[in-house]
């Protein structure tokens, strides 16, 4: 257990079926009473220090933040080929992906100090796709936020299952989601009567919140400080709205 000011963190093992998963929880020990909970879903490289840092930032905002582990304990892709194989496995089996992310949600709800009536989920890249899938699973959460998620609509009718509010934060020059795929997602949500918002950040490509991604937009993935900061602010506005 790490103590940093009042922010505390802890590794949490939990299960989906027979698979052991290794999550991470962060909270502000100085705050009393039940707090809203935020599930954080990782990028294609699996649960790394990046997502743990985001969880600590969320804890500093007063939330109990829980990083889900989709891939399983000990599964840590070492390169993009391994990451692509892992992410692909779940993108191609949305039911398994839903089961894994819902297991993370259940683990979040079990954390002490969590107000289980006030829950949201955010995700980055692969995790963005995953929280949209969480919404489509009909999960009882207040809202989900995708940061540069892979956007698509594998089953255009799935929007009808979505009970929560949706905020999609997207790089306007992200080459990994085609305009057609984005339009399909919009139509899925429109058809489903979802309360949704989509923000396009000009000049931003994939991974715009990820400092490790460098700054060369021509690679299709790069850090973009202003889109990073703005998207975080929009998430805060979104949480203020859903956690009233």
**Interface with its own copies (CB under 8 A):** 166, 172-173, 179, 183, 186, 189-190, 193-203, 226, 229-230, 233-234, 237, 241
Which is nearer to its own copies, 5 or 183 (by Cβ)? 183
Minimum separation from the CB atom of position 122 to its own copies (A): 17
Which is nearer to its own copies, 145 or 166 (by Cβ)? 166
Which is nearer to its own copies, 69 or 158 (by Cβ)? 158
Cα torsion angle, 66, 63, 58, 94, sign: positive
Beta carbons of 42 and 127 less than 8 angstroms apart: yes
Minimum separation from the CB atom of position 56 to its own copies (A): 22
Which is nearer to its own copies, 213 or 235 (by Cβ)? 235
Which is nearer to its own copies, 176 or 234 (by Cβ)? 234
Which is nearer to its own copies, 221 or 227 (by Cβ)? 227
Minimum separation from the CB atom of position 138 to its own copies (A): 18
Which is nearer to its own copies, 59 or 166 (by Cβ)? 166
Minimum separation from the CB atom of position 81 to its own copies (A): 31
Minimum separation from the CB atom of position 244 to its own copies (A): 11
Minimum separation from the CB atom of position 31 to its own copies (A): 24
Beta carbons of 200 and 170 less than 8 angstroms apart: yes
The length of the chain in residues reads 244
Token code pair at residue 91: 């993108």
> What 3 state SS string does the chain have?
CEEECCEEEEEEEEEECCEEEEEEEEEECCCCCCEEEEEEECCCCCCCHHHHHHHHHHHHCCCEEEECCCCCCCCCCCCHHHHHHHHHHHHCCHHHHHHHHHHHHHHHHCCCCEEEEEEEEEEECHHHHHHHHHHHCCCCCCEEEEECCCCCCCCCCHHHHCCCEEEEEEECCCCCCCHHHHHHHHHHHHHCCCCEEEEEECCCCECCCCHHHCCCHHHCECCCHHHHHHHHHHHHHHHHHHCC
Minimum separation from the CB atom of position 194 to its own copies (A): 6
């Amino acid at each position: 257990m790490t103590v940093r000011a009042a922010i505390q963190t802890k590794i949490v093992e939990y299960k989906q079926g027979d698979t052991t998963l290794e999550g991470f929880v962060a909270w502000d020990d100085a705050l009393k009473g039940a707090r809203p909970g935020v599930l954080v879903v990782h990028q294609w490289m699996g649960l790394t220090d990046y997502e743990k840092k985001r969880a600590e930032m969320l804890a500093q905002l007063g939330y109990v933040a829980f990083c889900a582990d989709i891939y399983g304990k000990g599964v840590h892709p070492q390169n993009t080929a391994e990451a692509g194989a892992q992410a692909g496995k779940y993108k191609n089996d949305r039911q398994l992906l839903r089961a894994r992310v819902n297991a993370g949600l259940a683990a979040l709800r079990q954390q002490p100090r969590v107000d289980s009536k006030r829950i949201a989920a955010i995700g980055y890249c692969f995790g963005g796709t995953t929280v949209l899938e969480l919404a489509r699973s009909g999960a009882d959460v207040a809202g989900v936020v995708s940061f540069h998620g892979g956007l698509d609509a594998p089953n255009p009718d799935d929007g009808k299952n979505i009970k929560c509010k949706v905020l999609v934060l997207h790089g306007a020059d992200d080459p990994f989601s085609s305009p057609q795929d984005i339009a399909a997602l919009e139509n899925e949500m429109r058809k489903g009567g979802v309360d949704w918002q989509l923000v396009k950040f000009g000049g931003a490509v994939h991974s715009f919140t990820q400092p490790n991604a460098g700054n060369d937009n021509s690679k299709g993935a790069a850090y973009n400080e202003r889109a990073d900061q703005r998207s975080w602010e929009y998430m805060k506005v979104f949480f203020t709205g859903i956690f009233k």
